[in-house]
Amino acid sequence: MVCPWCYIGKRRVEKAIAALADEFEFDVHYLPFELNPLMPEAGVPQKPYLMAKFGGAGQYDKITRQVTEAAAGEGLAFDFDKQLVAPNTRLAHRLIWLAGQHGVQPAVKEALMSAYFEKGVDLSKKENLIDIVTGAGLDETEATALVNSTNGLHEVTEIESTHHQRGISSVPFYIVDDRVGISGAQPPEVFVRAFREISAQKD
């Protein structure tokens, strides 16, 4: 959700899917994975958090510059200066799960990632999350009910537990046909080749 390479990888796999539109039908689902489940609910100041994670101001500048350039290559306008809060993402993942129950998951996922990476919206605030997901097509009453309850919490934590049991420890990670894993924000051509190979293995 707040991993920049997940957004970059999302664009790359979308390009691969588009390239194979005449060969295959794709059914895409977004699954939860929390990079820091112990993050305070209110989040923490983003830049100090990332500086500590990356190893100082110099590394922060280098890594964010490289990531921003990679994102630009995929048509994304990352702006780390706007990202003031590193949020706890569990509530956002629960909303994405809810969106999956109502057929609007791709739009909700895209809206949340764009809000965070390109607009610097604080995803730790319930009202911001509700505005984003309802703007992407999720019913406001349903979204509000979820953020003010424990709806979806069990389902999200169960899915995350399954990921860990499978040995998944980092993102982005793609599970194809519920049996083959692909790790990392690979170039589109890598996904194209992998999708064809996985399909051929079933024939």
Contact 163, 93 (CB under 8 A): no
Contact 88, 98 (CB under 8 A): no
Per-residue pLDDT tens over the stretch 41-97: 999 999 999 999 999 999 999 999 999 999 999 999 999 999 999 999 999 999 999
Per-residue pLDDT tens over the stretch 10-47: 999 999 999 999 999 999 999 999 999 999 999 999 99
Contact 58, 117 (CB under 8 A): no
Per-residue pLDDT tens over the stretch 141-196: 999 999 999 999 999 999 999 999 999 999 999 999 999 999 999 999 999 999 99
Residue type (1 letter), 162: T
Q: Which residues pair with 182 in a beta bridge?
A: 174
The domains located in the chain, with CATH, are: 4-202 (3.40.30.10)
Residue 203 has pLDDT above 70, yes or no: no
Specify the pLDDT at position 202: 78
- Gap between the Cα atoms of 93 and 160, Å rounded: 10
